[in-house]
Structure 1
Amino acid sequence: MFLCGSYVPPQYLPWSPGSYLFLLETCLFLLFACTAAGSAGSMPSMNNQLNELRSLAAKAENRRTETGIPRVAMVQGKIPEHMLAAVYDPMINVILQGSKSMTVGDRTLRYDPATYFVMSIDLPAVGSVHPSVSGEPYLAVSLTLDPTVLSTLFADLPKPVGRVEHNLGFSVAPVTTDLMDAWVRMLRLMGDPDAIAALAPVYEREIIFRVLQGPHGWMLREIAAPDTAMARVNMAIQWIRRDFAEPIGVERLAERASMSVSAFHRHFKAVTNLSPLQYQKRVRLLQARTLMVANAKSVMAAAFEVGYESATQFSRDYARVFGLPPAQDAGRILGDTRAIRP
């Protein structure tokens, strides 16, 4: 006779009714014990995956470091401040060590090791990174989302029953062992470049698929589906980014997005945490900061190049966002307060 999955010879089986109850309770105890052991055993698996990813990404620099794998990058250490304030492309970002904060509008999200951040649309954000409690440098890997890959994968999946319109275009969630496993296989390709062309697209789809299965799945589905409010807002965002230095009319953007002005404004703010005009202003200010820090543009030249007609208004808006007037802020970043001309 088989008992609890093991063969027990008949001569050793007790036959009283009480013995049956004892055996049943014993089997249930063993079943739960084995289940608990299996669950506990999954934890080292996650730790092993995290440790391997840290090892694979150990050559990352303190700026976006290309891996040789399309759309996959890594970064490590203290990142220059002006590089953390930018218009971020849609991405999946996994923290391996340390922590990071991302502020969009008036909302700040913080994420730690074994969590991932998804941004489904282009957003002007200010980031800050921190080492781990024990002092190890910040370390992360990211996958920039390709709209074509996302839409083709979405088309291959069963359509969800019904549609629920969701809002915010960025969020944080804990990783899973399945997602981490796909990331491990992706980064291993850095040591096998001949396999990148064949396998990277497979792993890329798997990473996105695992995210689609998780708490962020709705967000990517909303952006991949052609006729959702988030997809329409995304179209407007592309128009603003392309022509950020030009005056924009909310009425015209709403018309292009096939929405009423009130509905467009409401959905835009819900997705980006900014109004359309605030979004354009953040894009302008971030671009101006880059022009001053990286291209040594004067304050006035940077202001006019990004679309401002008044240097005074530019300085006022800049100080409101970055905390200092433009020349002082850029000089602080460069380590020389005389580096930027008015």
Structure 2
Amino acid sequence: MDNGATREEEAQDVMNQKPSEREAERMQAHREELVERIARALRADGTAQPLQGLHLYRHSFPLEQVYSVVEPSLCVVVQGSKEFLLGESRYRYDPFHYLLVTVDLPYVGQVLEASKERPFLSLRLDLAPTLVGEVMLEAGHTSMRDHAEVRAIAVSPVDGHLLDAMVRVARLLDAPDEAPVLLPLITREIIYRLLVGEQGARLRHLAILGGYTPSIARAIERLRRDFDQPLRIEQLARELGMSVSGLHHHFKAVTAMNPSQFQKRLRLLEARRLMLGEDLDAASAAYRVGYRDASHFNREYKSLFGVPPMRDVQRLREAALAIAGQ
């Protein structure tokens, strides 16, 4: 009798809750489920790609700034917080905010909140421009209010619909046989939720064939492909049907860098990868990424990373060994 009364009281309490209270409780339950599922899928610090287009991250302590390149994607932190630096702008996100990136960008990232008891946990879902375009057409979101350039990165609050979809993505970690069928469907739903959310205009610029942003996307593609070749800005502007000053202006509006800064960042990141991953010396790495003057390479490397190339590589290797020994 008492148990029945208790269940009835609990049910009545739920019914008496305001919709906003029920939604807040549901979202908190979803966040807790995301933490549990990602922690179970990635039990040690590092990264993993358990499903096509889905990347998981775990860190048990705050990290120094990490330099890398991120592709168009949705980034969601489920525990802890992280900051992206792009030019002079900072973008901090946490379990209550997502980060949206709409073009390939070299960036500086830093995990701010993490501990062994509460490790930083996050996931990143790739967003293919062609898929975004398909969902746009199906949803009737093909028009743009204007054709101006749009910064290719932003942070916005996570709403209940988006969080619900991300939980269903995380559940597929325990159902790999279902993932090939269900993950593409949920990804389309996530794209739709983003399109109708406050970053919809930004996402539409990922696929829309109008305005300046697609031209800048083509410029980014060219720079990523030919980063080790001399940058001929006049030729690139002509191929894009833009003036040199227009290319500089719109490129910086989208990426927070001008084309030469963008190329330099790509070159230095690749040189760092070559020295770490292929054990190249600084001069060989510099030549591989397009530098013809080793001293020029050393100056630019130190300007970006704070120390000369080989000292930086030694520091990174020592840090990796220290982490492995913990």
Q: TM-score, normalised by structure 2?
A: 0.87
Task: Give the counterpart of 1:263 among 246, 249, 270.
Answer: 246
Contact 2:73 2:101 in 1 (8 A): yes
Could you tell me how far 1:282 is from its partner in structure 2? Answer: 0.2
The 2-side partners of 1:81 and 1:97 are apart by 15
Contact 1:78 1:129 in 2 (8 A): no
Matching residue of 2:25: 44
The 2-side partners of 1:322 and 1:80 are apart by 18
Could you tell me how far 1:134 is from its partner in structure 2? Answer: 9.5
Task: Give the counterpart of 1:322 among 302, 305, 308.
Answer: 305
The 1-side partners of 2:158 and 2:283 are apart by 45
The 2-side partners of 1:296 and 1:254 are apart by 37
The 2-side partners of 1:133 and 1:246 are apart by 43
Using the aligned pairs only, state the percent identity.
35
Deviations 1:171-199 (A, max 9, x none): 11110110010111111112222222221
Q: Give the 5 Å matches for 1:70-109.
A: 70-78=52-60, 84-109=66-91
The 1-side partners of 2:52 and 2:102 are apart by 18
Letter in 2 for 1:153: V
Contact 1:74 1:142 in 2 (8 A): yes
Contact 1:116 1:175 in 2 (8 A): yes
**Residue 79 and residue 240 in structure 1: after superposition, are their counterparts in 2 closer, same or farther (change >3 A)?**
farther
The 2-side partners of 1:133 and 1:190 are apart by 24
Matching residue of 1:28: none
Matching residue of 1:57: 38
Contact 2:64 2:111 in 1 (8 A): no
Listed as ranges, the gaps of 5+ residues in structure 1 are 1-33, 337-342
The 2-side partners of 1:107 and 1:91 are apart by 19
**Residue 79 and residue 317 in structure 1: after superposition, are their counterparts in 2 closer, same or farther (change >3 A)?**
farther
Could you tell me how far 1:132 is from its partner in structure 2? Answer: 4.5
Task: Give the counterpart of 2:111 among 103, 116, 129.
Answer: 129
The 1-side partners of 2:230 and 2:313 are apart by 26
SS in 1 for 2:22: helix
Contact 1:153 1:205 in 2 (8 A): yes
The 1-side partners of 2:61 and 2:282 are apart by 24
SS in 2 for 1:155: helix
Asked if residue 275 in structure 1 is aligned to residue 296 in structure 2, the reply is no
The 1-side partners of 2:45 and 2:105 are apart by 22
Could you tell me how far 1:267 is from its partner in structure 2? Answer: 0.4
Letter in 2 for 1:239: R
Could you tell me how far 1:138 is from its partner in structure 2? Answer: 0.6
Q: Give the 5 Å matches for 1:223-238.
A: 223-238=206-221
SS in 2 for 1:96: strand
Asked if residue 159 in structure 1 is aligned to residue 149 in structure 2, the reply is no
Matching residue of 1:119: 101
Contact 2:227 2:263 in 1 (8 A): yes
**Residue 114 and residue 230 in structure 1: after superposition, are their counterparts in 2 closer, same or farther (change >3 A)?**
same
The 1-side partners of 2:106 and 2:132 are apart by 22
Aligned-CA RMSD value: 2.2
Asked if residue 242 in structure 1 is aligned to residue 225 in structure 2, the reply is yes
Letter in 1 for 2:299: R
The 2-side partners of 1:162 and 1:209 are apart by 16
Matching residue of 2:129: 147
Contact 1:64 1:73 in 2 (8 A): yes
The 2-side partners of 1:48 and 1:281 are apart by 44
The 2-side partners of 1:264 and 1:277 are apart by 11
Contact 2:60 2:115 in 1 (8 A): no
Larger of the two Rg values belongs to structure: 1
Contact 1:62 1:78 in 2 (8 A): yes
Aligned length: 302
Q: Which moved more, 1:279-288 or 1:211-220?
A: 211-220
